[in-house]
Amino acid sequence: MPELSKKETATDYLSRYLRHSQQNPYRRRLPTLRELKRDYIRFCLMLTGENYQEAARLLKIDPQLLKKYILTKISSS
């Protein structure tokens, strides 16, 4: 993932992420929705310092749902 500052908005991050030629694994194809979702959740967690409550608030989902998703989807990838 490209380096980013905590002041970047999600839109700035996603456009920069997709344009970044050296580190972008999707430079030859568009990412799937599943890949974007996974990467965006990782981004929110990184932005909040791994604070699940705050990341869930940013994502507008229940914190328990976020934890369940991370345990089942992200940790296995």
Domain ranges of the chain: 10-74
Q: How many CB atoms lie within 10 A of CB 14?
A: 16
pLDDT, position 20: 59
pLDDT, position 1: 47
pLDDT, position 14: 67
pLDDT, position 76: 61
| CB hemisphere CA count around 77 (13 angstroms) | 11
pLDDT, position 32: 86
Q: What is the pLDDT along the chain (77 residues), one digit of tens a residue?
A: 455 555 566 667 667 666 654 566 666 777 888 888 988 999 899 999 999 999 999 999 999 999 999 888 776 65
Residue type, 44: C
Cα distance between residue 73 and residue 9, in whole Å: 24
